Each structure stands twice: as C-alpha cells, then as structure tokens.
C-alpha cells in the first residue's frame, strides 16, 4: 500500500500532498488520519514556518517501522528554508527507512493560496516518478 500524509496550516502543503496523491492514484490525508494498513511507501510532508511543526515532528518520531517500510519526505516553504534536516532527525528516531528522494518546494507564502507553477509541477512529477 502507498499512503500520503501531511501536516498543513495554510493549505499549501495540503495542495502539494493532494497532487502527489493524484499522481500516485491514492487519496492524501492529514497526519491526524491513521494509516489503515501497512504501508510499503509513506509520502510524508509538512511546511517550515520558522521550524518544523511540532505535530509533524511527533508523528515522524513515532512511525512504527513494522507498519511503514519506507518514508519519502516532502515540504513547502516561503523562502529557501527547508525542514529536511529536522525532518530526517525525527524520522531517524523512529528507525524507519528514509527514501533517497525528497521534495522541498519553495515560494509558498503563508495564507496565500497560489497554484503550483510549471517548474514546481515538474519537480513534483520527477519526485513521484523517481519514487514509484
């Protein structure tokens, strides 16, 4: 099973998660929704607003490696910042395998619901294709 989960406050990461889910043929859901079954691949995303959201960090730290084989990280931010380092540390605590590919898109301002530009869609598509 493939699953997509996200933490999103402004809706930007949710938009990215939904597009990833669409390309994978699965429905993206908030991290508040438990995984129904064992996941071969979990696409897990969040945003940076100064730092990684606490709810996402806690979720990542508590992933059960017997329920999730591999996690692929994705995220959004307004500037050049990324939560990749903090995200990796949280996932390392859980002991789950972290996929080689990740996606961190920039240029999303909080509370401004803009569509992904062509370059972002290309990056997202390449990420999904590389992780299938």
Whichever domain contains 118, its CATH number is 3.40.50.360
Q: What is the pLDDT of residue 23?
A: 97
Q: What is the pLDDT of residue 45?
A: 94
Q: Is the pLDDT score of 93 beyond 70?
A: yes
Helix, strand and coil percent figures for the chain, each rounded to 5: 35, 25, 40
User: By the 8 A CB rule, do 88 and 57 touch?
Assistant: no
Q: Is the pLDDT score of 108 beyond 70?
A: no
Average pLDDT, the chain: 89
pTM: predicted TM-score of the whole model, two decimal places: 0.91
Q: Indicate the number of domains in the chain.
A: 1
Q: Element (H or E) spanning 129, and its range?
A: helix 118-131
Q: What is the pLDDT of residue 60?
A: 94
* Res. 10 pLDDT band, cuts 50 70 90: confident
Domain of 111, in residue numbers: 2-131
């Amino acid at each position: 099973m493939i699953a997509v989960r996200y933490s999103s406050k402004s809706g930007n990461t949710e938009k990215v998660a939904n597009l990833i889910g669409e390309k994978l043929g699965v429905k993206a859901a908030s991290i508040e929704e438990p995984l129904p079954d064992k996941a071969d691949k979990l696409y897990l995303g969040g945003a940076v607003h100064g730092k990684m959201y606490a709810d996402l960090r806690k979720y990542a730290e508590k992933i059960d490696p017997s329920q999730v084989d591999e996690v692929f990280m994705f995220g959004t931010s307004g500037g050049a910042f990324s939560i990749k380092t903090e995200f990796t540390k949280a996932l390392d605590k859980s002991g789950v395998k972290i996929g080689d590919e990740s996606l961190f898109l920039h240029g999303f301002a909080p509370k401004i619901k803009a569509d992904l530009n062509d370059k972002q869609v290309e990056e997202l598509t390449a990420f999904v294709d590389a992780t299938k």
